[in-house]
Homo-oligomer: A and B are copies of this chain.
Amino acid sequence: METNPCINPVKVGFSIPPRVSRKSKIDDTIVNISGVRIGGSEIVMIAGPCAVESEEQLFETARSVKAGGAKILRGGAFKPRSSPYNFQGMGEEGLKLLSIISKETGLPVVTEVMDTRQVELVASYADMIQIGSRNMQNYPLLKEAGMCKKPVLLKRGMMATIEEFLQAAEYILNAGNDQVILCERGIRTFETSTRNTLDLSAVPMLKQLTHLPVIIDPSHGTGIRWMVPSMSKAAVAVGTDGLIIEVHYKPEKALCDGHQSLSLDEFSKLMIDLKKVAKAIDREI
């Protein structure tokens, strides 16, 4: 039978760039976020609101997720929104609030940066900077993150293959920063009953190919609050190194993504369930 391995010259083969490759570094990389270590046997919970909306909203949510067992606080100050007319985030004012509650609770903070011009600013407030899905192939931003001294949480683009995801991470490592965490957050498929299709197979695949830690975002991965607990349990069972979960003290009043945010009580309950699953696979949370 006729075989043509090159009908599409672009898409044949699979290449893992050298710095992220497991072949260049057999041991797992452990990323240290102001004392919280991701990539070891402990599964780390990152929780907090989609966007920083106010002092009250942020502080109440932060204190509660801390009490529930979260180790890192999330919250967006600069928000990438599909429409220019949606809430775009509080900006530097949000960063300041994150910094205040971080000191009070002892939780390190992760927050998104979208613009090369803001990397220095965001890194001065945050313990880890996040590069979101829409910017996974924003190469100037990746390079800038690679030159910054803070760990980087890199989210998979909603249309990015595993190979492209690793190539994007390579940009950061190649610029001098090896403190990178990969985050699967759902890919875009034909299915419309969920916001995205959470690709949990990305965890074992990435762990096979790279030494970098891998975490899961079940909030964006499903877009549906009541699905977050079961998908979180699955993520722990499949081998994730952490979870990043949207929690809001009043989900029904959230300015952004309320429909996929857990309430404070739901988060606390979820933590109890996840500890059992973690134990079943000989890890802890």
Contact = CB atoms under 8 A, between A and B. Distances in A.
Interface stretch (A2-10, A51-59, A68-76, A102-110): A2-10
B201 A198 contact: yes
Contacts of A191: 161-162, 187, 199
B14 A1 contact: no
A138 interface: yes
Nearest to A233: B237
Nearest to A239: B230
Contact of A192 (B161, B203, B208): B161
Contacts of A116: 115-117
A6 B6 CA distance: 6
Interface residues of A, number: 89
A189 interface: yes
Contacts of A237: 230, 233-234, 236-238, 277
B227 A201 contact: yes
Contact of A280 (B117, B198, B259, B279): B279
A115 B118 CA distance: 12
Given A84-B167, A159-B188, A222 B201 contact: yes
B259 A10 contact: yes
Contacts of A284: none
A110 B56 CA distance: 48
A159 B15 contact: no
A7 B193 CA distance: 6
B190 A194 contact: no
A2 B13 contact: yes
Contacts of A36: none
Given A167-B82, A190-B159, A10 B223 contact: yes
Nearest to A168: B82
Given A1-B16, A84-B167, A280-B276, A8 B192 contact: yes
8 contacts: A7-B13, A8-B224, A9-B193, A80-B139, A81-B139, A83-B170, A161-B190, A188-B190
